[in-house]
Amino acid sequence: MPQSLPTVIVSAPVPPDLRSAVEAACRIVEVPIGERLDRAVPAAERQAARGVLCTVRTPVDAATLEALPGLKVVSNFAVGFDNIDVPHATGRGVLVCNTPGVLDRAVADLTMGLVICLARDMVAGDAFVRQGKWQRGAAPLTSDLAGKTLGLLGMGRIGRMVARRAQAFDMRVIYHNRNRDTQSEAQGLAAYRQRDALIAEADFLSVHIPLSPETRGSIGTREFDAMKRTAYLINTARGAVVDEAALVRALQEGRIAGAGLDVMEREPLDPGSPLCALPNVVLQAHVGSATVETRRAMMELAVRNLVDAMTGRTPQAMVNPAVWDASGAGHV
């Protein structure tokens, strides 16, 4: 008698052709995106579940992991995984996979887009034309990027992509990272600075650090007070690494010139948020990876990670690979 297919919970927008690849290896239990799995999945299916394919909107916390006792792998449709309690998953022998690499260029492009929008005040420029102000006189002058200093707080794959783009605009690039990127330094891509020196020197401070208990709220009043009054904050990483209330105060009081934000502490952002009322802020809807090509590549990798883990092949992107190694690599 043929062995039954393992059960996986899918809570992500999987295209039909990629869904077929999952169905060839697994039995799918569908759950609406963002629903708690410990509540939305029937008890019998929770017992049977061996895999999960989800977005960052799905919490995979301790309660969820406890409610899925047979779970072996969680494949996150994202490079970030702050929706997953990775230490708890590791302790239970649950492999966590993500989708790094494939979205780096798209996020770097958006980062530079925010830099350009702020330097050239393009959102206000659009309104200037639409409101007929151009008919009454010239638009206000804005600022060049050439010669300005871009400070990268975090120098991983995305940070390096941003640095390359900034060089094309003749910007000076400096960075701070837990570990020195000596290769980028040797290539002349960016110069290293201590964290406080980076914050004080940057004309544009661009955040590229992951969200963790250590980084949550780590950019706050102290950092804004240390920035130039003419400097801008760019955040395309995770909203919660910035103390949003402190940011709003700094913007309202003119302690920094403005901000470009693709991420916020709470998403979707309430239109009643003070951020929406500030003219020196450019806001995006967490769309750093939101291009047709990038999202397709991310889903391909997320599906491949899930199916590989379920069929005994080593997944390409593992957050806690020690779980795979300890399982005998192929017996998750």
List, for residues 225-234, the tens digit of each pLDDT value: 999 999 999 9
Q: Which stretches within 49-178 are classed as H helix?
A: 62-67, 86-91, 104-119, 122-130, 157-168
pTM of structure: 0.92
Q: Please determine whether the domains at 7-102+293-326 and 104-283 fall in the same fold group of CATH.
A: yes
Which own/partner contact pairs does 187-195 have at CB distance under 8 Å and 24+ positions apart? 189/160, 189/163, 189/164, 190/152, 190/155, 190/160, 190/163, 193/151, 195/153
Picking from 266, 262, 265, the residue whose alpha carbon sits closest to that of residue 285 is 262
**Which of the following is catalytic: 39, 267, 293, 313?**
267
Q: For residue 184, count other CB atoms closer than 10 A to its CB.
A: 21
pLDDT digits (tens, 9 = 90+) for 284-301: 999 999 999 999 999 999
Domain ranges of the chain: 7-102+293-326, 104-283
**Which of the following is catalytic: 164, 172, 286, 300?**
286
- Under a CB-based contact definition with an 8 Å cutoff, are residues 46 and 68 in contact? yes
| Predicted local distance difference test score (pLDDT) of residue 330 | 53
**DSSP code string of 264-282:** -SSSSPPTTSHHHH-TTEE
Fold designation for 7-102+293-326: Rossmann fold (3.40.50)
**Which of the following is catalytic: 238, 255, 295, 304?**
238
* Residue 88 designated active-site: no
Architecture of domain 104-283: 3-Layer(aba) Sandwich (3.40)
pLDDT over 70 at 105, yes or no: yes
pLDDT digits (tens, 9 = 90+) for 124-135: 999 999 999 999
**DSSP code string of 149-173:** EEEEE--SHHHHHHHHHHHHTT-EE
- Under a CB-based contact definition with an 8 Å cutoff, are residues 110 and 262 in contact? yes
Mean pLDDT to the nearest integer, 49-71: 98
| Predicted local distance difference test score (pLDDT) of residue 329 | 58
